[in-house]
Amino acid sequence: MNIKIRPFNNADADKISTIICRNLREINSKDYMPDMIEGLINCFTSGEIIKFAPGRNMFVAEADGKLMGTASLAKDNRSDDEKYVVLTPLSL
């Protein structure tokens, strides 16, 4: 298997949205109420991803040319300190 990590580009938004929403429904739904999951899903449409991507260092993972996941490094806005968080939804 050939794995490649590269920067996100807007053409990736639809597939990344699908991956994130699938993870929210299949993985995160075990820990959160359905209304919270659906609210989060609304935050990860392809249009929303394109809006917030410039404010993050966002990457995608490809395996043999197929988009498999994403990871982002973003400033943690919950603190005034220079702290960052890693966000990592991956496909199953």
pLDDT by residue (tens digit) across 35-86?
999 998 999 999 999 998 998 899 999 999 999 999 888 777 776 777 777 7
Is the pLDDT at 7 greater than 80? The verdict is yes
What pLDDT, on the 0 to 100 scale, is given for residue 81?
72
The CATH architecture to which 3-87 belongs is 3-Layer(aba) Sandwich (3.40)
**Rounded Cα distance, 22 and 11, in Å:** 19
Backbone phi, then psi, for 10, in 5-degree steps? Answer: -55, -30
Q: Are 65 and 81 in contact (CB under 8 A)?
A: no
**Rounded Cα distance, 33 and 19, in Å:** 19
Please state the separation of Cα 52 from the chain's center in Å: 10
pTM, rounded to two decimals: 0.80
